[in-house]
Structure 1
Amino acid sequence: MFDTRAAIVAALAVWLGGSAQAQGSGPQWSGFYKNLLVRSDTWSGEPFTLDVNRLRVEVKGSIAPALSFDLQYDNELLLGSYLRTAQFQQGKDIAPPQYWRADANYLETSRLYGVHRLYRATLNASLGDTDLRLGRQRIAWGTGRFWSPQDALNPVSPIALEREERLGVDALLVEHKFGPLSRVAAVVAPSRIEHRSTAALQWHDNILGLDYSLIGGRLLGQQTWGLDLAGQVGQAGVRAELTRQWPDGLPATNRVLVGADYAFGNTLTLTGELYFNGAGARDPSAYDFSALKSGQTQALARRYLGLHAGYDIAPLLKWNNDLVVNLADRSRYVASSLSYSVRPDLDVAIGIQRFSGAAGTEYRRLPNTVHASMQWFF
């Protein structure tokens, strides 16, 4: 049911907006409305239709000369037969993993479900060469496209329907710049789940045209160190990530990613990645499908290939294709979509996701999906 969170969010936005106006620089408002229509099946095989209506409003501005804010508020209305599936009923009340509970449903019937949340909410301070950001945010460590061993705080599945949507983390991020390319960052992110808090450091620099980052500390409760490299070989962009983790009471595991990107003059862009997941199962019989379903992990096996091809059929019409292969069990994920810019503030898209493989393999159990969307920016 509707609770006081909406009033708190509205009051905070009004107060911050008033503070920004008092500083002589009015708040900046922007956002979008997105309608996403999905036709698919649940994990147990129930066919469904889901219509997602998402309104995201962002307000940002300055409170003081060195202090600013950024609020992004979501209001979603869900319709369709998915609301009557067992999968939805089991998952709708599961609390999100963030430390601060900033969401609530305000409408629930057999045909309508309304929920609102803070997607992002940060206070930002600049003190000379040091920047501080406190609140719900995206901490973008790592350079991977399909997978990223270093992006533990805001991971995304390579098979996610909306890969641009990244779950934020409630954290304090402090960055100090030593030069145009050199910086050190520290992040602290508490967790309500025991032994899942984060306290880590990242050093970023450039040497001989090669960007590199070093990380160390505890990421989601696991002692971690890692290396991230990105550079150019001819006209191709190349990158690599390596992390080594020591889960409490378990042997150390490695995660390794190598990737490359190339853009042709005819607008064709290609991306390829190879991923080794040392924490994955060696045999399909040991797959933990519940962890994949809940989002606790993005890969069940050890060896993967990811390929992407994008092409501008016309200046406003884009064609995107993804292929993900589990190299251990040979199961596959294929996605293809067309997007068209009707006008500068309005995009439409249609697409399909298809999963295949032998019985018991990772991608065989996932349901195929057909989707269409419309997004209006303001």
Structure 2
Amino acid sequence: MSGSSALSQSEQSPWIPDFNGYMKVMDIYTYSPDLNQNPKSTLFHNRLNFKWYFSNTLTGRVEGRSRFFIGEGIEAQQPLFGKLLEQDNGLVDLSFVPYERDFMLAHINIDRLWLEYVKGDWNIKAGRQRINWGINITWNPNDIFNTYDFLDFDYEERPGNDAVKVTKYLSDLSFIEVATSLNENLEKMVIAGKYQMNNQGYDVQFLGGKFLEDIVVGTGWAGNIKDAGFKGELSYFHPYEDIYGSSGVYNFSTSSDYSFENGWFVNATYLFNSNANEKLPFILLLELVEQSPKNLYPAKHTFAAGTGKQLSPLSTFSFSSVYSPKAKALILLPAITLSIEENFDFDFIAQSFFGEYPVKFKNITNGIYLRLKVSF
């Protein structure tokens, strides 16, 4: 349903936006074999998206989500959980926790707020937006503006950043893009450029610039080997105040995917992280290490594989696993989606974590998520 369904863009007032969104309710059950308590919680999640067409060249968008958490699972994480949600790394603080108790918490976050000007071969976008330079499945070393956590399945839109982006299209298959994040502190800014082209059926990109306190250069590609998709990304980071030192780090990921005629699909991904710290137990690193394109996953070598199929017109199944051999860490990720009717879905999602803790390989913790989603 759209707020402007009765009017065309040319007829409607520029101040009447297109409108859509969704509402979700998710029950969360956690189970840890070594703990006597297995807390439960419920998340109520509402998202609203507005888009304005001010003219043929100028559009604007505002999007945000409001969430209400309640239950034992929230109480077990307080007060750190509320402080974490309240953090906003943008130029303008648009993340709020208006209500907070031991076992209840409300959170409001505006993650899109931008104006876009498009004319001819030029595109200029300013404001809170997602600058997506990633290509690969699961891990994206080239995604230097908006790193996301692939385990955060309930945030389909992924985080945004306060930024200005300018794009110049050179042809149908090539363009140059320059972007900068906005922050009062230069050391917290990302300023970079990207050139993308197509060569013999492969989309290839090259990027370079400043990432926080580092110089960053990178490349990525997407194409096919016969009928299988083949993608990859590489980014290298080096402190610009230690340009002749040996403290640079790099993340490299590559993946392949294939779809069978019977509807099944498979994919496989590899990540190398030279910045990994494997001295501490993996489960602690997963919780404590802040994810960034310099440190996409807390293990040096990690493999991921997935498969799935649309079982019927109304149901899909997927199963993924993530394994780090040296860290001896394994994550299992099954999921089933049922389309009850148009714009009304039910999801069953599980996450099971295995690792050496403290020295014996075993199941450490599990999460089961039951989610209803109504889109409008």
Normalised to the residue count of structure 2, the TM-score between the two structures is 0.87
How far did residue 365 of structure 1 move? 8.8
Match of 1:97 among 77, 89, 103: 89
Tell me, what secondary structure is at the counterpart of 2:54?
strand
Letter in 1 for 2:25: N
How far did residue 209 of structure 1 move? 0.8
Equivalent residues of 1:256, 1:276 under 8 A apart: yes
For 1:1-378, list aligned pairs within 5 A: 23=13, 26-40=16-30, 47-85=38-76, 87-94=77-84, 95-162=87-154, 164-191=156-183, 195-248=187-240, 249=242, 251-281=247-277, 283-285=278-280, 289=284, 292-293=287-288, 295-296=290-291, 297-360=295-358, 367-378=365-376
- The share of aligned pairs that are identical, in percent, is 19
How far did residue 25 of structure 1 move? 7.7
Equivalent residues of 2:66, 2:106 under 8 A apart: yes
**Per-residue displacement from partner, 1:108-149 (whole Å, max 9, x unpaired)?**
334432221212111111132111111111111121221111
Q: Distance in 2 between matches of 1:209 and 1:58?
A: 35
Q: Distance in 2 between matches of 1:259 and 1:184?
A: 25
Tell me, what secondary structure is at the counterpart of 2:96?
strand
Q: Distance in 1 between matches of 2:235 and 2:352?
A: 31
Equivalent residues of 2:282, 2:355 under 8 A apart: no
Tell me, what secondary structure is at the counterpart of 1:47?
coil
Equivalent residues of 1:335, 1:352 under 8 A apart: yes
Count of residues in correspondence between the two structures? 356
How far did residue 236 of structure 1 move? 0.6
Equivalent residues of 2:82, 2:97 under 8 A apart: no
Q: Name the residue aligned to 1:4.
A: none
How far did residue 347 of structure 1 move? 0.7
Equivalent residues of 2:68, 2:104 under 8 A apart: yes
Equivalent residues of 2:281, 2:357 under 8 A apart: no
**Per-residue displacement from partner, 1:287-342 (whole Å, max 9, x unpaired)?**
79467436435411210101111111212111111100012222100010110111
Equivalent residues of 1:156, 1:163 under 8 A apart: no
Equivalent residues of 2:75, 2:104 under 8 A apart: no
Equivalent residues of 2:256, 2:267 under 8 A apart: yes
**Per-residue displacement from partner, 1:176-203 (whole Å, max 9, x unpaired)?**
1011111111110034566221000000
Equivalent residues of 2:14, 2:55 under 8 A apart: no
Q: Distance in 2 between matches of 1:176 and 1:52?
A: 42
**Per-residue displacement from partner, 1:148-197 (whole Å, max 9, x unpaired)?**
11112222223334362411111111111011111111110034566221
Q: 1:22 to 1:335 in 2, by over 3 A?
A: closer
**Per-residue displacement from partner, 1:203-228 (whole Å, max 9, x unpaired)?**
01101111100000012332110110
Normalised to the residue count of structure 1, the TM-score between the two structures is 0.86
Tell me, what secondary structure is at the counterpart of 2:146?
coil
Q: Name the residue aligned to 2:3.
A: none
Tell me, what secondary structure is at the counterpart of 1:34?
strand
Q: 1:163 to 1:322 in 2, by over 3 A?
A: farther
Letter in 2 for 1:270: V
How far did residue 33 of structure 1 move? 0.4
Q: 1:189 to 1:366 in 2, by over 3 A?
A: farther
Q: Distance in 2 between matches of 1:33 and 1:105?
A: 19
46-55 or 269-278: which moved more? 46-55
Q: 1:59 to 1:169 in 2, by over 3 A?
A: same
Structure 2 unpaired stretches of 5+:
1-9
Letter in 1 for 2:18: Q
